[in-house]
Amino acid sequence: MTTVNTQVLDNLGLSLSSQTTQSSGDLGKSDFLKLMTTQLQNQDPTKPMESGEFFSQIAQFSMVAGVEELKTSFQQVADAMYSTQSLQASAMVGRSVLIPGNAVTLTAGESMTAGVALPASTANLVVGVVDDSGQLVRRFDLGPQSGGNLSFTWDGLDGDGAAMPSGDYYLVAQMDYDGEAVALDTMVTSKVNSVVMGKSGQGIMLNLSNNDQVSLSDVVQIM
């Protein structure tokens, strides 16, 4: 900011130590304009302000105004996005969502949907369901697949067609990539019980039926 002499500050009734309406060193557009106008009124007639210095102050004023307007515009966009996300999250209550994870809870006699994230196409995709003891209870040979997110359904049966009991199970997946087995990230489904609206600077969180809480941005698909 251009240095202003003490007389100008005194004429405005301002001092750096006594300002209470704004933080130290911060000037709004109106204050900046008042300072510049008063400086012109109180300049020494025998030493008028150089045109270069005057235009420099005008440029600083324009920059201050532009930054404030830009901040306001960004805040308006952020508020609009947050409002849209809040509506989207509220519509998810009672519905199932696909989110990153590998732990699934099976209810006997029911099927469940899960997913795999493929970073590239593969000649063969294999997914396994493992029980609490680490034993493989079901293997899915899904064959060639293109890259992207792939969903599949487990009917709750083991490899011999017997119904598995209710409980916790885990997913493992791998794909054939240039002749090598590559481990993959899996996704699981869970029902949304409620939505938590974060405070300023915080995101929107979803409370799930399995007692977990995830960010809205973690949702891969709404079922």
Q: What does the angle CA 175 – CA 110 – CA 126 come to, to the nearest 5 degrees? A: 10
* pLDDT value, residue 7: 53
- pLDDT band of residue 31 (cuts 50, 70, 90) is low
Query: Mean pLDDT over residues 49-54, rounded?
Result: 54
Q: 85-124 burial, b for 16+ CB within 10 Å, e for fewer? A: eeeebeebeeebbbbebeebebeeeeebbbbbebeeebee
What pLDDT score does 69 carry?
Answer: 72
pLDDT of residue 43: 58
pLDDT for residue 9 is more than 60: no
Compare 22 and 73 and report the one with higher pLDDT: 73
pLDDT range class, residue 115, cuts 50, 70, 90: very high
> How much is the pTM?
0.59
Q: Taking a C-beta distance cutoff of 8 angstroms, is the pair 110, 165 a contact? A: no
Tens-digit pLDDT profile for residues 188-210:
999 999 888 766 556 788 889 88
For range 113-136, the mean pLDDT? 93
Which string of b and e fits 27-47 if b means at least 16 CB within 10 Å? beeebbebbbebbeeeeeeee
* 221: confidence class by pLDDT, cuts 50, 70, 90: confident
pLDDT at site 27: 52
Amino acid code (one letter) for 24: S
**Above 70 in pLDDT, residue 75?**
no
The amino acid at residue 63 is: M
Does residue 116 carry a pLDDT above 90? yes
* Residue appearing with tokens 């709004």: 28
pLDDT band of residue 16 (cuts 50, 70, 90) is very low
Which among 132, 131, 117, 85 is positioned nearest to 186, based on CA atoms? 117
Structural domains of the chain, with CATH: 6-89 (no CATH), 96-190 (2.60.40.4070)
Q: Decide: residue 188, CB within 10 A, 0-12 exposed, 13-18 middle, 19+ buried.
A: buried
